[in-house]
């Protein structure tokens, strides 16, 4: 299962070295016995934390922020989702009560964290935005990582496959090298501090214990961090160096692959003893390369450990397959990962050269003829390799149950039982026979090929006439409302492709080619048996043969509602429940984008890397509207004729060229 955007969630460091907090997070295994309290509890009144106001305002700038859900909490601070009421941009905000920084050394700790974090800028480090304080709290605004952390993935999965571990470790090492090159030690590397964004990219965060690298003589001797990941030299008060972070990295690798930290015991003192003696077990099910790498990192003497470059050069990485991207489904289940064929590797390399590190520079200037030719060759290769992710006409099992976390958990085998197969045939017979008289035909020419051809033609015509420009024309102040996909979930490995429209109706295109929609607050059902037969039911009058499909649709709907964020700020008016929603004719996934074609002529393309979206639809008067949703989820709608006359920015022009190439090669595929 792959998904669009998870709802925002992050977590704070558990600061497990605090004697009052020696009950580690889920990633640390069984709870450790709490140490005796160092200080008696203060009165209960002082311990009660005041509830954060629904809206907080920066006293200096006057900008207001709406409080969202609680993302995580620790003994020192809480983290909330907050939305800037001016720009609608969302943040993860660390909220520290002023009462917790009343002493100078406490205030210095927060100040040092802020000053250090605001200097960092790296792809695999959580972005620092800004901070302010009022009389009650200090607010630190950070990048919102919507897929929680590796701790959450580990809790759901318990163990990860070696390709997944390589995928995450490469990103951790990239961020860690950046810190070390700047003379910064993290000192609290653990699963809960590796955050995952919407695009399944890892961000290293929580710099509450970070410190500048000192000489051996000046190294800090403080014991800080999380018990299961502490290096021997830290416990022996020999100080922190980059080698201590490498040790923690080895513990992270072991935990992800083996299901528990290497030195975990039920007794904290015993855990410390095992760490000092480097006493742990390597499971026999680990590959020889993985065992060798872990052993080379978990060395007692810091000087004997591999450094970060040597880790990347180890055979565990050089001889093993590392995926370029993980599906979002890997947050809750084992993904289907296959090493690419030589042809696939070639096209991936081309794609990286075109869309990779130089992308930002390429988007600042219009594409020339050479770009067009390179893009044409690139798209041709990608489409021929990847366009097969379309409707597949096979029948699969249809019963699922939802876990408390909202993910779909299979309760039946992939292949249908004879009874299920007979039930499906019965559904087909009944609707083709007795229900045919109530069917409503689709719009003329609404085949995937026709929609793709029409969209490619109007976009190509627009681009051909478009003059050079450096910016987009003014947005339409009140564009005609239209429906678009705000959330999606790819569960085609078993059932089909689900999506939510901007009027909150839910659709699922099943692998066998049928289409099921829940509309009007789930009170009305639109069912399409073939591409030219529609049926409408009230939920209470749904034929029994469709109950199993309805259950799957509801599970996908609940999953998207609980876990996924809206794809942009573009809303629409609710359509009448009596009219069928737009029918998804086809969806196609390439390495860079998701393409969706609807029977009303709407085309939507979601780009993975920066989460931008291009939506082309018809207005009531027959003209075309083009909507661009930026990476900040801010939308602008234009008349296509206006873009043709006035031109647009290089960023939008570049995406439109890519869409045209995709559609043209889609028609030829």
Three-state DSSP at 426 gives helix
Cα(325)–Cα(168) distance, integer angstroms? 10
Contact residues for 527 (Cβ-Cβ < 8 A; gap 6+): 431, 514, 515, 516, 517, 534, 535, 536, 537, 546
Cα(492)–Cα(2) distance, integer angstroms? 9
Tokens 């001016």 identify what position? Answer: 86
Q: Judge whether 569 counts as a catalytic residue.
A: no
Cα(552)–Cα(288) distance, integer angstroms? 42
Burial label, 38 (beta-carbon count in 10 A; 0-12, 13-18, 19+): exposed
94 among annotated binding-site residues: yes
Contact residues for 384 (Cβ-Cβ < 8 A; gap 6+): 665, 669
- The two tokens of residue 629 are 């949703």
- The two tokens of residue 346 are 């070639």
Beta pairing partners, 617: 625
Question: Are the C-beta atoms of 573 and 503 separated by less than 8 Å?
Answer: yes
Nearest 10 degrees: Cα torsion 159, 161, 162, 165: -60
- The one-character DSSP state at 248 is H
In 3D space, the residue among 58, 49, 208 whose CA is nearest the CA of residue 133 turns out to be 58
Cα(253)–Cα(97) distance, integer angstroms? 35
Cα(498)–Cα(524) distance, integer angstroms? 17
Question: Are the C-beta atoms of 298 and 278 separated by less than 8 Å?
Answer: yes
Name the phi and psi angles at 500, rounded to 5: -115, 135
Three-state DSSP at 644 gives helix
Instruction: Choose the catalytic residue: 20, 108, 188, 574.
Output: 188
Residues annotated within a binding site: 94
Residues placed in the known binding site for ATP: 94
Q: Which residues are catalytic?
A: 188
């Amino acid at each position: 299962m792959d998904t669009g955007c998870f709802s925002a969630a992050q977590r704070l460091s558990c600061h497990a070295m605090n004697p009052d907090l020696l009950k580690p997070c889920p990633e640390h295994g069984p709870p450790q016995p709490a140490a005796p309290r160092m200080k008696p509890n203060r009165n209960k009144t002082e311990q009660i934390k005041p509830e954060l106001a629904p809206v907080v305002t920066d006293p200096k700038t006057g900008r207001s922020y709406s409080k969202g859900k609680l993302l995580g909490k620790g003994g020192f601070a809480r983290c909330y989702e907050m939305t800037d009421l001016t720009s609608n941009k969302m943040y993860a905000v660390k909220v520290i009560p002023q009462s917790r920084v009343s002493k100078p050394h406490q205030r210095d700790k927060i100040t040092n964290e802020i000053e250090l974090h605001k200097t960092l800028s790296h792809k695999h480090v959580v972005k620092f935005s800004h901070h302010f304080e009022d009389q009650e709290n200090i607010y630190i605004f950070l990048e919102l990582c919507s897929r929680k952390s590796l701790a959450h993935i580990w809790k759901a999965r318990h163990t990860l496959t070696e390709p997944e571990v390589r995928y995450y470790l490469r990103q951790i090492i990239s961020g860690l090298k950046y810190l070390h090159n700047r003379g910064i030690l993290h000192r609290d590397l653990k699963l809960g501090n590796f955050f995952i964004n919407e695009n399944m990219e890892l961000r290293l965060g929580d710099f509450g214990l970070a410190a500048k690298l000192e000489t051996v003589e000046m190294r800090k001797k403080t014991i800080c961090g999380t018990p299961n990941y502490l290096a021997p030299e830290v416990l022996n008060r020999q100080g922190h160096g980059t080698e201590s972070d490498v040790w923690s990295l080895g513990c992270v690798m072991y935990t992800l692959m083996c299901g528990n930290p290497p030195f975990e015991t039920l007794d904290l003192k015993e855990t410390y003893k095992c760490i000092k003696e480097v006493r742990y077990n390597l499971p026999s099910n680990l590959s020889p390369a993985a065992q060798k790498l872990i052993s080379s990192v978990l060395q007692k003497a810091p000087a004997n450990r591999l450094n970060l470059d040597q880790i990347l050069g180890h055979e565990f990485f050089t001889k093993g397959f590392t995926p370029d991207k993980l599906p979002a489904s890997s947050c809750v289940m084992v993904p289907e990962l296959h090493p690419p064929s030589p042809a696939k590797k070639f096209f991936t390399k081309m794609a990286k050269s075109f869309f990779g590190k130089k992308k930002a520079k390429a988007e600042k200037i219009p594409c020339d003829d050479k770009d067009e030719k390179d893009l044409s060759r690139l798209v041709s290769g990608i489409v021929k390799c990847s366009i097969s992710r379309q409707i597949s006409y096979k029948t699969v099992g249809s019963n699922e149950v939802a876990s408390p976390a909202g993910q779909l958990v299979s309760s039946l085998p992939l292949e249908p039982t004879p009874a299920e197969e007979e039930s499906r045939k019965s559904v087909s017979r009944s609707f083709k026979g007795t229900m045919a008289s109530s069917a409503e035909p689709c719009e003329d020419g609404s085949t995937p090929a026709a929609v793709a051809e029409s969209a490619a033609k109007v976009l190509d015509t627009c681009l051909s006439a478009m003059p050079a420009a450096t910016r987009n024309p003014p947005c339409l102040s009140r564009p005609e409302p239209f429906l678009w996909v705000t959330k999606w979930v790819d569960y085609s490995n078993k059932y089909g492709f689900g999506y939510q429209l901007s009027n909150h109706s839910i659709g699922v295109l099943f692998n066998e080619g049928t289409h099921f929609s829940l509309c009007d607050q789930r009170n009305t059902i639109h069912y399409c048996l073939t591409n030219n037969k529609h049926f409408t039911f009230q939920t209470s009058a749904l034929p029994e043969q469709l109950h199993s499909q309805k259950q799957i649709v509801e599970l996908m709907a609940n999953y998207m509602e609980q876990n996924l964020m809206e794809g942009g700020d573009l809303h629409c008016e609710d359509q009448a429940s009596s009219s069928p929603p737009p029918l998804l004719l086809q969806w196609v996934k390439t390495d860079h984008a998701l393409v969706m074609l609807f029977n009303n002529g709407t085309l939507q393309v979601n780009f993975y890397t920066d989460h931008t979206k291009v939506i082309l639809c018809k207005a009531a008067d027959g003209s075309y509207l083009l909507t661009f949703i930026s990476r900040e989820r801010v939308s602008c709608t234009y008349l296509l004729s206006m873009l043709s006359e006035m031109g647009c920015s290089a960023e939008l022009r570049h995406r439109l060229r890519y869409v045209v190439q995709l559609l043209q090669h889609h028609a030829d595929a």
